[in-house]
Structure 1
Protein backbone atom coordinates (compact mmCIF):
# COMPACT_ATOMS: atom_id res chain seq x y z
CA UNK A 1 0.00 0.00 0.00
CA UNK A 2 1.05 3.55 -0.66
CA UNK A 3 1.12 6.78 1.40
CA UNK A 4 -2.27 8.24 2.34
CA UNK A 5 -2.77 10.72 -0.52
CA UNK A 6 -1.98 8.02 -3.08
CA UNK A 7 -4.57 5.66 -1.57
CA UNK A 8 -7.54 8.03 -1.77
CA UNK A 9 -9.25 9.77 -4.67
CA UNK A 10 -7.47 13.03 -5.38
CA UNK A 11 -9.44 16.19 -6.08
CA UNK A 12 -6.97 16.61 -8.97
CA UNK A 13 -8.61 13.55 -10.58
CA UNK A 14 -12.21 14.78 -10.25
CA UNK A 15 -13.49 15.62 -13.77
CA UNK A 16 -14.58 19.25 -14.19
CA UNK A 17 -16.23 20.03 -17.54
CA UNK A 18 -18.43 22.77 -18.97
CA UNK A 19 -21.38 20.91 -17.41
CA UNK A 20 -19.75 21.11 -13.98
CA UNK A 21 -18.03 19.05 -11.29
CA UNK A 22 -18.62 15.28 -11.50
CA UNK A 23 -20.81 14.48 -8.47
CA UNK A 24 -19.81 10.90 -7.66
CA UNK A 25 -16.09 11.41 -8.11
CA UNK A 26 -16.23 14.60 -6.06
CA UNK A 27 -17.96 12.71 -3.22
CA UNK A 28 -15.34 9.95 -3.41
CA UNK A 29 -12.58 12.56 -3.04
CA UNK A 30 -14.49 14.13 -0.12
CA UNK A 31 -14.49 10.77 1.67
CA UNK A 32 -10.71 10.71 1.35
CA UNK A 33 -10.59 14.14 2.95
CA UNK A 34 -12.78 12.95 5.86
CA UNK A 35 -10.27 10.14 6.47
CA UNK A 36 -7.49 12.72 6.67
CA UNK A 37 -8.88 13.80 10.05
CA UNK A 38 -8.15 10.30 11.39
CA UNK A 39 -4.47 11.10 10.84
CA UNK A 40 -4.86 14.16 13.05
CA UNK A 41 -5.62 11.60 15.72
CA UNK A 42 -7.84 13.67 17.98
CA UNK A 43 -11.40 12.88 19.04
CA UNK A 44 -11.95 16.65 19.04
CA UNK A 45 -12.15 16.53 15.24
CA UNK A 46 -15.00 14.00 15.29
CA UNK A 47 -17.47 16.89 15.11
CA UNK A 48 -15.85 18.02 11.82
CA UNK A 49 -15.86 14.48 10.42
CA UNK A 50 -19.46 13.90 11.47
CA UNK A 51 -20.55 17.13 9.78
CA UNK A 52 -18.69 16.33 6.56
CA UNK A 53 -20.03 12.76 6.47
CA UNK A 54 -23.61 13.92 7.08
CA UNK A 55 -23.45 16.35 4.17
CA UNK A 56 -21.84 13.78 1.86
CA UNK A 57 -24.75 11.44 2.70
CA UNK A 58 -27.32 14.14 1.81
CA UNK A 59 -25.73 14.53 -1.61
CA UNK A 60 -25.50 10.77 -2.21
CA UNK A 61 -29.16 10.36 -1.24
CA UNK A 62 -30.18 13.02 -3.77
CA UNK A 63 -27.99 11.48 -6.45
CA UNK A 64 -29.44 8.01 -5.85
CA UNK A 65 -32.99 9.38 -6.10
CA UNK A 66 -32.39 11.46 -9.25
CA UNK A 67 -29.21 10.20 -10.97
CA UNK A 68 -30.12 11.61 -14.39
CA UNK A 69 -30.43 15.15 -12.98
CA UNK A 70 -27.43 14.91 -10.64
CA UNK A 71 -24.43 14.05 -12.84
CA UNK A 72 -22.63 17.23 -11.81
CA UNK A 73 -22.89 19.25 -8.62
CA UNK A 74 -24.28 22.16 -10.61
CA UNK A 75 -27.00 20.00 -12.20
CA UNK A 76 -27.90 18.52 -8.81
CA UNK A 77 -28.37 21.96 -7.22
CA UNK A 78 -30.25 23.26 -10.26
CA UNK A 79 -32.62 20.27 -10.22
CA UNK A 80 -33.55 20.95 -6.59
CA UNK A 81 -34.20 24.64 -7.20
CA UNK A 82 -38.01 24.68 -7.16
CA UNK A 83 -38.41 22.33 -4.20
CA UNK A 84 -39.59 23.50 -0.80
CA UNK A 85 -36.86 21.65 1.08
CA UNK A 86 -33.50 21.80 -0.67
CA UNK A 87 -31.67 19.30 1.50
CA UNK A 88 -28.83 18.52 -0.93
CA UNK A 89 -28.30 22.20 -1.84
CA UNK A 90 -27.92 23.05 1.85
CA UNK A 91 -25.78 19.96 2.44
CA UNK A 92 -23.40 20.93 -0.37
CA UNK A 93 -23.20 24.51 0.91
CA UNK A 94 -22.04 23.27 4.33
CA UNK A 95 -19.80 20.63 2.81
CA UNK A 96 -18.05 23.33 0.77
CA UNK A 97 -17.52 25.37 3.94
CA UNK A 98 -15.95 22.37 5.67
CA UNK A 99 -13.75 21.69 2.65
CA UNK A 100 -12.71 25.34 2.55
CA UNK A 101 -11.68 25.16 6.22
CA UNK A 102 -9.59 22.02 5.65
CA UNK A 103 -8.04 23.40 2.46
CA UNK A 104 -7.11 26.78 3.95
CA UNK A 105 -5.68 25.14 7.08
CA UNK A 106 -3.41 22.79 5.15
CA UNK A 107 -2.43 25.53 2.69
CA UNK A 108 -1.31 27.60 5.70
CA UNK A 109 0.78 24.65 6.91
CA UNK A 110 2.29 24.18 3.45
CA UNK A 111 3.07 27.88 3.02
CA UNK A 112 5.12 28.01 6.23
CA UNK A 113 7.05 24.82 6.90
CA UNK A 114 8.01 26.04 10.39
CA UNK A 115 4.41 26.56 11.49
CA UNK A 116 2.74 24.03 13.76
CA UNK A 117 -0.71 22.71 12.83
CA UNK A 118 -2.63 24.39 15.69
CA UNK A 119 -2.01 27.97 14.43
CA UNK A 120 -2.38 26.86 10.78
CA UNK A 121 -5.80 25.32 11.49
CA UNK A 122 -6.89 28.21 13.72
CA UNK A 123 -6.13 30.65 10.91
CA UNK A 124 -7.94 28.37 8.44
CA UNK A 125 -11.00 28.28 10.67
CA UNK A 126 -11.04 32.06 11.09
CA UNK A 127 -10.96 32.49 7.30
CA UNK A 128 -13.77 30.03 6.59
CA UNK A 129 -16.23 28.37 8.98
CA UNK A 130 -16.01 30.69 11.97
CA UNK A 131 -18.33 33.36 10.54
CA UNK A 132 -21.15 30.79 10.22
CA UNK A 133 -20.86 29.33 13.73
CA UNK A 134 -22.55 30.28 16.97
CA UNK A 135 -20.77 30.70 20.30
CA UNK A 136 -21.10 27.02 21.29
CA UNK A 137 -19.76 25.60 18.03
CA UNK A 138 -16.90 28.12 18.03
CA UNK A 139 -15.94 26.73 21.44
CA UNK A 140 -15.94 23.17 20.12
CA UNK A 141 -13.68 24.17 17.25
CA UNK A 142 -11.38 26.08 19.57
CA UNK A 143 -10.82 22.85 21.52
CA UNK A 144 -10.22 20.92 18.28
CA UNK A 145 -7.58 23.41 17.09
CA UNK A 146 -5.68 23.08 20.35
CA UNK A 147 -5.77 19.28 19.97
CA UNK A 148 -3.93 19.32 16.62
CA UNK A 149 -0.95 16.95 16.67
CA UNK A 150 2.61 18.12 16.16
CA UNK A 151 3.32 18.96 12.54
CA UNK A 152 6.10 16.34 12.37
CA UNK A 153 3.78 13.54 13.57
CA UNK A 154 1.01 14.42 11.10
CA UNK A 155 3.35 14.59 8.09
CA UNK A 156 4.93 11.29 9.12
CA UNK A 157 1.45 9.70 9.07
CA UNK A 158 0.79 11.20 5.63
CA UNK A 159 4.04 9.65 4.37
CA UNK A 160 3.64 6.25 6.03
CA UNK A 161 2.93 3.04 4.14
CA UNK A 162 0.46 0.97 6.22
CA UNK A 163 1.83 -2.21 4.63
CA UNK A 164 5.18 -1.53 6.28
CA UNK A 165 7.06 -0.32 3.21
CA UNK A 166 9.42 2.64 3.19
CA UNK A 167 7.65 5.95 3.85
CA UNK A 168 7.37 8.51 1.06
CA UNK A 169 9.87 11.34 1.08
CA UNK A 170 8.82 14.76 2.38
CA UNK A 171 9.24 16.10 -1.17
CA UNK A 172 6.78 13.49 -2.50
CA UNK A 173 4.26 14.23 0.26
CA UNK A 174 4.54 17.99 -0.32
CA UNK A 175 4.11 17.61 -4.10
CA UNK A 176 1.03 15.36 -3.72
CA UNK A 177 -0.50 17.56 -1.02
CA UNK A 178 0.05 20.76 -3.01
CA UNK A 179 -1.58 19.22 -6.10
CA UNK A 180 -4.50 17.88 -4.02
CA UNK A 181 -5.04 21.25 -2.31
CA UNK A 182 -4.82 23.29 -5.53
CA UNK A 183 -7.52 21.15 -7.15
CA UNK A 184 -9.70 21.24 -4.01
CA UNK A 185 -9.33 25.03 -3.79
CA UNK A 186 -10.33 25.43 -7.46
CA UNK A 187 -13.47 23.28 -7.02
CA UNK A 188 -14.52 25.09 -3.82
CA UNK A 189 -14.08 28.51 -5.45
CA UNK A 190 -15.95 27.39 -8.57
CA UNK A 191 -18.90 26.15 -6.51
CA UNK A 192 -18.92 29.21 -4.22
CA UNK A 193 -19.16 31.41 -7.35
CA UNK A 194 -21.96 29.18 -8.69
CA UNK A 195 -23.93 29.55 -5.44
CA UNK A 196 -23.37 33.31 -5.33
CA UNK A 197 -24.37 33.91 -8.96
CA UNK A 198 -27.46 31.72 -8.79
CA UNK A 199 -28.50 32.82 -5.29
CA UNK A 200 -28.71 29.14 -4.31
CA UNK A 201 -27.76 29.78 -0.68
CA UNK A 202 -30.67 32.16 -0.07
CA UNK A 203 -33.28 31.00 2.38
CA UNK A 204 -31.23 28.04 3.63
Structure 2
Protein backbone atom coordinates (compact mmCIF):
# COMPACT_ATOMS: atom_id res chain seq x y z
CA UNK A 1 0.00 0.00 0.00
CA UNK A 2 1.43 3.36 -0.96
CA UNK A 3 2.23 5.80 1.81
CA UNK A 4 0.93 9.35 1.67
CA UNK A 5 3.49 12.04 2.40
CA UNK A 6 3.05 14.27 5.43
CA UNK A 7 2.22 17.16 3.10
CA UNK A 8 -0.66 15.35 1.42
CA UNK A 9 -4.03 15.29 3.20
CA UNK A 10 -5.62 11.85 3.27
CA UNK A 11 -9.07 11.86 1.73
CA UNK A 12 -10.74 9.79 4.43
CA UNK A 13 -9.45 12.09 7.20
CA UNK A 14 -11.54 14.97 5.87
CA UNK A 15 -14.81 13.05 5.63
CA UNK A 16 -17.58 14.76 7.60
CA UNK A 17 -19.47 12.47 9.98
CA UNK A 18 -23.27 12.48 9.93
CA UNK A 19 -24.75 14.79 12.57
CA UNK A 20 -25.84 13.46 15.96
CA UNK A 21 -29.56 13.15 16.61
CA UNK A 22 -30.22 15.78 19.26
CA UNK A 23 -33.69 16.01 20.81
CA UNK A 24 -35.02 14.06 17.84
CA UNK A 25 -33.62 16.57 15.35
CA UNK A 26 -31.17 16.07 12.46
CA UNK A 27 -29.29 19.15 11.30
CA UNK A 28 -29.92 19.36 7.56
CA UNK A 29 -26.75 21.31 6.70
CA UNK A 30 -24.52 18.77 8.42
CA UNK A 31 -26.52 15.90 6.91
CA UNK A 32 -26.05 17.24 3.38
CA UNK A 33 -22.34 17.82 3.98
CA UNK A 34 -21.81 14.27 5.25
CA UNK A 35 -23.89 12.76 2.43
CA UNK A 36 -21.89 14.78 -0.11
CA UNK A 37 -18.63 13.47 1.36
CA UNK A 38 -19.98 9.94 1.03
CA UNK A 39 -20.73 10.66 -2.64
CA UNK A 40 -17.11 11.82 -3.01
CA UNK A 41 -16.02 8.49 -1.53
CA UNK A 42 -18.18 6.63 -4.06
CA UNK A 43 -16.58 8.69 -6.82
CA UNK A 44 -13.15 7.49 -5.69
CA UNK A 45 -14.19 3.85 -5.91
CA UNK A 46 -14.12 4.24 -9.67
CA UNK A 47 -16.13 5.09 -12.78
CA UNK A 48 -17.96 1.78 -12.55
CA UNK A 49 -19.91 3.19 -9.59
CA UNK A 50 -20.91 6.33 -11.51
CA UNK A 51 -24.63 5.31 -11.65
CA UNK A 52 -24.68 4.98 -7.86
CA UNK A 53 -22.88 8.29 -7.43
CA UNK A 54 -25.26 10.17 -9.75
CA UNK A 55 -28.32 8.64 -8.09
CA UNK A 56 -27.15 9.69 -4.63
CA UNK A 57 -26.19 13.18 -5.82
CA UNK A 58 -29.56 13.54 -7.53
CA UNK A 59 -31.34 12.82 -4.27
CA UNK A 60 -29.14 15.32 -2.41
CA UNK A 61 -29.97 17.92 -5.07
CA UNK A 62 -33.70 17.28 -4.57
CA UNK A 63 -33.33 18.11 -0.88
CA UNK A 64 -31.39 21.30 -1.57
CA UNK A 65 -33.79 22.40 -4.31
CA UNK A 66 -37.06 21.73 -2.50
CA UNK A 67 -36.26 22.86 1.03
CA UNK A 68 -35.49 26.34 2.31
CA UNK A 69 -33.20 25.92 5.30
CA UNK A 70 -30.52 27.51 7.44
CA UNK A 71 -27.85 26.26 9.81
CA UNK A 72 -30.41 25.36 12.48
CA UNK A 73 -33.00 23.62 10.28
CA UNK A 74 -34.07 20.04 10.96
CA UNK A 75 -34.22 17.58 8.06
CA UNK A 76 -37.17 15.70 9.57
CA UNK A 77 -39.24 18.79 10.28
CA UNK A 78 -38.79 20.05 6.71
CA UNK A 79 -39.73 16.66 5.32
CA UNK A 80 -42.89 16.48 7.43
CA UNK A 81 -43.88 19.99 6.36
CA UNK A 82 -43.44 19.05 2.70
CA UNK A 83 -45.55 15.90 3.04
CA UNK A 84 -48.30 17.73 4.92
CA UNK A 85 -48.44 20.20 2.02
CA UNK A 86 -49.18 17.32 -0.34
CA UNK A 87 -45.70 17.12 -1.84
CA UNK A 88 -43.07 14.38 -1.59
CA UNK A 89 -40.26 15.08 -4.08
CA UNK A 90 -37.52 15.73 -1.53
CA UNK A 91 -38.99 13.25 0.96
CA UNK A 92 -38.74 10.52 -1.65
CA UNK A 93 -35.17 11.61 -2.32
CA UNK A 94 -34.44 11.21 1.39
CA UNK A 95 -36.05 7.77 1.31
CA UNK A 96 -33.74 6.53 -1.44
CA UNK A 97 -30.70 8.32 -0.10
CA UNK A 98 -31.28 6.66 3.26
CA UNK A 99 -31.38 3.27 1.57
CA UNK A 100 -28.05 4.06 -0.04
CA UNK A 101 -26.69 5.00 3.39
CA UNK A 102 -27.64 1.55 4.64
CA UNK A 103 -25.85 -0.04 1.69
CA UNK A 104 -22.60 1.81 2.37
CA UNK A 105 -22.91 1.24 6.09
CA UNK A 106 -22.83 -2.50 5.33
CA UNK A 107 -20.02 -2.12 2.78
CA UNK A 108 -17.80 -0.22 5.20
CA UNK A 109 -18.57 -2.69 8.01
CA UNK A 110 -17.36 -5.54 5.79
CA UNK A 111 -14.26 -3.62 4.74
CA UNK A 112 -13.27 -2.93 8.34
CA UNK A 113 -13.99 -6.52 9.34
CA UNK A 114 -11.63 -7.87 6.68
CA UNK A 115 -8.95 -5.31 7.49
CA UNK A 116 -9.01 -6.35 11.15
CA UNK A 117 -8.45 -9.97 10.09
CA UNK A 118 -5.69 -8.93 7.65
CA UNK A 119 -7.68 -10.40 4.79
CA UNK A 120 -6.68 -8.17 1.88
CA UNK A 121 -7.43 -10.86 -0.68
CA UNK A 122 -11.18 -10.73 -0.12
CA UNK A 123 -13.15 -10.27 -3.30
CA UNK A 124 -14.76 -6.81 -3.22
CA UNK A 125 -17.46 -8.21 -5.49
CA UNK A 126 -18.46 -10.38 -2.53
CA UNK A 127 -18.48 -7.42 -0.12
CA UNK A 128 -20.58 -5.26 -2.43
CA UNK A 129 -23.02 -8.11 -3.04
CA UNK A 130 -23.40 -8.92 0.66
CA UNK A 131 -24.27 -5.27 1.29
CA UNK A 132 -26.63 -5.18 -1.70
CA UNK A 133 -28.47 -8.31 -0.60
CA UNK A 134 -28.95 -6.81 2.85
CA UNK A 135 -30.14 -3.38 1.77
CA UNK A 136 -31.09 -2.21 -1.72
CA UNK A 137 -31.86 -5.36 -3.67
CA UNK A 138 -35.43 -5.81 -2.43
CA UNK A 139 -36.33 -2.34 -3.70
CA UNK A 140 -34.94 -2.85 -7.22
CA UNK A 141 -36.55 -4.45 -10.22
CA UNK A 142 -34.87 -7.29 -12.11
CA UNK A 143 -33.14 -5.01 -14.66
CA UNK A 144 -31.63 -2.79 -11.95
CA UNK A 145 -30.48 -5.87 -10.05
CA UNK A 146 -28.64 -7.13 -13.15
CA UNK A 147 -27.00 -3.74 -13.68
CA UNK A 148 -25.86 -3.73 -10.09
CA UNK A 149 -24.47 -7.25 -10.47
CA UNK A 150 -22.30 -6.02 -13.35
CA UNK A 151 -21.15 -3.02 -11.31
CA UNK A 152 -20.10 -5.30 -8.45
CA UNK A 153 -18.16 -7.62 -10.75
CA UNK A 154 -16.15 -4.68 -12.08
CA UNK A 155 -15.33 -3.34 -8.61
CA UNK A 156 -11.72 -2.64 -7.53
CA UNK A 157 -9.75 -4.91 -5.25
CA UNK A 158 -9.50 -4.06 -1.54
CA UNK A 159 -5.91 -2.75 -1.90
CA UNK A 160 -7.03 -0.60 -4.84
CA UNK A 161 -9.93 0.73 -2.79
CA UNK A 162 -7.63 1.59 0.10
CA UNK A 163 -5.25 3.39 -2.23
CA UNK A 164 -8.09 5.40 -3.74
CA UNK A 165 -9.01 6.61 -0.24
CA UNK A 166 -5.40 7.66 0.47
CA UNK A 167 -4.89 5.02 3.15
CA UNK A 168 -1.20 4.65 3.99
CA UNK A 169 0.73 1.74 5.46
CA UNK A 170 -0.71 2.31 8.91
CA UNK A 171 -4.38 1.42 8.56
CA UNK A 172 -5.31 2.02 12.21
CA UNK A 173 -6.27 5.70 11.75
CA UNK A 174 -8.43 4.65 8.79
CA UNK A 175 -10.15 1.93 10.82
CA UNK A 176 -10.87 4.39 13.65
CA UNK A 177 -12.20 7.08 11.30
CA UNK A 178 -14.40 4.70 9.31
CA UNK A 179 -15.73 2.97 12.42
CA UNK A 180 -16.84 6.34 13.77
CA UNK A 181 -18.32 7.24 10.38
CA UNK A 182 -20.28 3.97 10.34
CA UNK A 183 -21.75 4.73 13.77
CA UNK A 184 -22.96 8.16 12.64
CA UNK A 185 -24.51 6.68 9.48
CA UNK A 186 -26.32 4.03 11.53
CA UNK A 187 -27.79 6.43 14.09
CA UNK A 188 -29.03 8.93 11.50
CA UNK A 189 -30.31 6.23 9.15
CA UNK A 190 -32.29 4.50 11.90
CA UNK A 191 -33.80 7.81 13.03
CA UNK A 192 -34.96 8.54 9.47
CA UNK A 193 -36.41 5.04 9.10
CA UNK A 194 -38.29 5.41 12.39
CA UNK A 195 -39.53 8.84 11.29
CA UNK A 196 -41.04 7.38 8.11
CA UNK A 197 -42.81 4.67 10.13
CA UNK A 198 -43.99 6.93 12.97
CA UNK A 199 -45.47 9.46 10.56
CA UNK A 200 -46.86 6.89 8.11
CA UNK A 201 -44.75 8.23 5.24
CA UNK A 202 -44.07 5.84 2.36
CA UNK A 203 -45.43 2.87 4.30
CA UNK A 204 -46.24 1.24 0.97
CA UNK A 205 -43.18 -0.05 -0.99
CA UNK A 206 -41.61 2.49 -3.33
TM-score tier, shorter chain, comes to 0.7 to 0.9
Residue 127 of structure 2: aligned partner: 120
Which of 22, 37, 49 is matched with 2:53 structurally? 49
What's the TM-score, normalizing by structure 2? 0.86
By how many angstroms is 1:150 displaced? 0.6
Residue 5 (str. 1) matches residue 12 (str. 2): yes
By how many angstroms is 1:198 displaced? 1.2
Is the 1:21–1:72 contact (alpha carbons within 8 Å) kept by the matching residues of 2? Answer: yes
Is the 1:98–1:129 contact (alpha carbons within 8 Å) kept by the matching residues of 2? Answer: yes
1:124-203 paired onto structure 2 within 5 Å: 124-160=131-167, 167=168, 169-202=170-203
Note the aligned Cα RMSD (angstroms). Answer: 1.8
- Higher relative helix content: 1
By how many angstroms is 1:19 displaced? 4.2
Q: Which runs of 5+ in 1 are unaligned?
A: 161-166
Is the 2:103–2:131 contact (alpha carbons within 8 Å) kept by the matching residues of 1? Answer: yes
What's the TM-score, normalizing by structure 1? 0.87
By how many angstroms is 1:200 displaced? 1.1
DSSP 3-state at the match of 1:25 = helix
4+ aligned runs moved over 3 Å, structure 1: none
By how many angstroms is 1:159 displaced? 3.0
Residue 163 of structure 1: aligned partner: none
Residue 23 of structure 1: aligned partner: 28
By how many angstroms is 1:38 displaced? 2.0
Q: Which runs of 5+ in 2 are unaligned?
A: 1-7
Aligned residues: 192
